[in-house]
Structure 1
């Protein structure tokens, strides 16, 4: 079974309305806050990419303003790695330095600190898990591989929010604005012609204001019945 932790923004887990929505429509996800990050964790036996995309759609539909950013990077240091796989810190340090084991330990993605005690290096757990699994040093079945993490993140970029769908609807075909009058005049010049369009700006902005109000209210009938949107 795969474990996929999705980083979500725009969600307040201390809000009663949000907690009610989580209980009613998103109860198959585990929610937590870690070091200022809000995570929605799903477990699946199926395709992790498809499951993550489905969860992201459910989150954005059930929690207005929420956005699923990416699979949580799950950064780990030497002590974290040692604790997760049940070995000593020194063993991990020797793997990292290439003085023991098969070599080729993944490079760190960053570091912090410095000074006399040196810096603390960090790795993405997915990359470390791939290396451990490759050499039969540890096999965590529910960990996504680095490739799967990249696939999920790429798929999440294509997940559309309700506002995306609304603008997609507006953008279909030519932009139709009732009461937006234009006049055109051909200006003759040797060998070519030009068209000058004069738009009534107030009519255009009024239409956009009415469209924004209709989208915000979610009233499909208002848009269908109003000739300005036909």
Structure 2
């Protein structure tokens, strides 16, 4: 088993009493991991999880199930850091920032360097997963981007949306989603 670290975003603020309930509700986190919470302040709480499991997706699932044991509380998102600057991307691979800038200003589109995902305050952000795929295509030894966090994030967001609307079970089955 591997130890997986990730952060879950909850649907609402968690209280001190709820953190105590989670900490003592099951042997899961004593035997296989740990959770720490942001309590206080406005907005939804986050939970930093360090869980032992066979896969990252399994670890996220176990933590999300444990959180759901408290009435009205659920994980609605997994934080993942796919957006990077070219400088951050250079830190994750064997290339310099300058090399990535040169590649970014070269040919774009199919087979070319990925297009930016967005810009904030003059800082341009790219998808690390897309950059990694592009660099592997050039022959660079870049480990695959972990897709489990992105899958878990999409699944939790979908589950949260489905909690807020009434969707007929037949429609869910047609979409390949099984209602609980």
> Which whole-Å CA distance do the structure 1 matches of 2:52 and 2:134 have between them?
23
1:98 to 106, 129, 132: 106
Deviations 1:139-192 (A, max 9, x none): 336x413xx5553334324647xxx6xx9xxxxxxxxxxxxxxxxxxxxxxxxx
Q: CA shift at 1:31, angstroms?
A: 4.7
> Which of 85, 92, 99 is equivalent to 2:93?
85
> Of the candidates 126, 130, 134, which is equivalent to residue 133 of structure 2?
130
Aligned to 1:76: 84
Per-residue CA shift, 1:115-140, capped at 9, x if unaligned?
Answer: xxxx2111233333333344442433
- Per-residue deviation at 1:108? 1.8
| Aligned equivalent of 2:117, options 87, 102, 109 | 109
Which residue, out of 143, 146, 160, partners 1:144? 146
Whole-angstrom CA distance in 2 between matches of 1:105 and 1:29: 39
In 2, Cα distance between equivalents of 1:43 and 1:139:
26
What does residue 178 of structure 2 align with?
none
Q: Deviations over 1:56-80 (max 9, x none)?
A: 2222325853433245244211111
Other-structure match for 1:53: 61
Aligned Cα RMSD in Å?
4.0
In structure 2, distance between residues paired with 1:133 and 1:5: 26
User: In the superposition, relative to structure 1, how do residues 42 and 82 fare at CA in structure 2: closer, same or farther (>3 Å)?
Assistant: same
CA distance in 2, matches of 1:63, 1:110: 38
The alignment of Structure 1 onto Structure 2 pairs a total of residues equal to 148
The answer on whether the counterparts of 1:96 and 1:105 sit within 8 Å (CA) in structure 2 is yes
After superposition, where does 1:58-69 map in structure 2 within 5 Å?
58-62=66-70, 65-69=73-77
Q: Distance in 2 between matches of 1:2 and 1:128?
A: 26
| Distance of 2:137 and 2:3 partners within structure 1 | 18
Instruction: Name the TM-score, length of structure 2 as normaliser.
Output: 0.56
TM-score (norm 1): 0.46
Of the two, which has the highest radius of gyration?
1
